[in-house]
Amino acid sequence: MTTTRIAITAGAPRAHVELAVGALAPRLISRDALRAHVAVAAAGMVLLGGDHVHVGIDVGRGCTLEIEDVGGTVAYPGARSSWVLDVRIGAGGSLLWHGLPFVVTDGADVERRSAITLDSGARAVIRETLVLGRHGERGGRLVSALAVVDGGGPILLERLDANGDAPEPGVLGSNRVLDAVIAVGFRPPTRPEDLEFDRPGSMARHLSDHTHGSPLDPVWDTWVAHAEARLHASETERDRVDLTV
């Protein structure tokens, strides 16, 4: 098993970005002193039965990493495969990851595990879309687990066990698509009258039988803008404090 690695640390005039190709091939799109935009696509056929994919993400202190998925993922029939994501976001850092659909075809058996660790003031906004089956399929088995922790302990721990051949009431039912936008480390107001809290976050989900026309598209845009606004406010406050020292 090879590891795909993406890491950013602050630098002048441009941040240092480390990219290592594994099952995914990351490509640098742009960067400045504190920010990088990276695109990721499969380096080959992913996921074949028996494949084990590991992705490591490290966002340095005060940095922002934007990851753009340009190909999505299809899990093909065969032996159990796995997709493991390990993320660490340093103090005051941000991760913005817009994932494309993760499709589990008929006969596939996939375990997907994501772990995110937040340092003080770190935040993330993640878009993920899980799909049971291609068009005309019911889909295979998917076990998807997410764990988000910060210095105060767990923020979000959840596990989804779904099987397109044996749908269960109270899980996905007859729906094939679970679309989600997840914000952690801050809480964007979900309604105009909501107050903002320091932690732990917000989640928006949509169940459907298709991927197009999701009502979560504007949610992603709004929550990313909110995360960016908080980042700029933090930078302004930091500069103000620095000037008064």
Which are the contacts of 27, defined by CB distance < 8 A and separation ≥ 6?
Answer: 19, 38, 39, 40, 41
Report pLDDT digits (tens) over 20-60. 999 999 999 999 999 999 999 998 888 999 999 999 999 99
Q: What is the DSSP letter of 17?
A: E
pLDDT for 115 beyond 80: yes
Please return the burial class of 101, using the count of CB atoms within 10 Å of its CB with bins 0-12, 13-18 and 19+.
middle
Split into its structural domains, the chain has a count of: 1
Q: Is the pTM of this model over 0.85?
A: yes
Q: Residue 166 has what DSSP assignment?
A: S
pLDDT at 213: 80
If you write DSSP's letter for every residue of 186-223 in order, what string do you get?
A: S---SSTTPPP-SSSEEEEEEEES-STT-TTHHHHHHH
Give me the amino acid identity at 142. L
Q: What is the DSSP letter of 133?
A: S
Distance separating alpha carbons of residues 11 and 21, to the nearest angstrom: 22
For residues 111-116, give the mean pLDDT. 97
Sequence-distant (≥ 6) Cβ neighbours of residue 81 within 8 angstroms:
47, 48, 49, 50, 51, 52, 53, 75, 108, 109, 110, 111
Question: Are 161 and 155 within 8 A, CB to CB?
Answer: no
pLDDT at 198 over 60: no
Beta-sheet pairing, 123-132 with 64-69: unpaired
Cis peptide before 207 (omega within 30 of 0): no
| pLDDT tens track for 153-178 | 999 999 999 998 877 766 787 889 99
Least confident of 12-16, 125-129, 232-236: 232-236
Give the pair of three-digit tokens for residue 39.
């695109």
Residue 140 is given by DSSP the state -
Does residue 242 register a pLDDT over 70? no
Token pair for 178:
């679970």
What is the residue range of 59's domain?
A: 3-244
Whole-number Å distance between alpha carbons of 86 and 57: 6
Please state, as a whole number, how many other Cβ atoms lie within 10 Å of the Cβ of residue 124: 24
**pLDDT for 232:** 61
Higher pLDDT, 136 or 170: 136
The two structure tokens encoding residue 17: 């970005």
DSSP state letter for 76: P
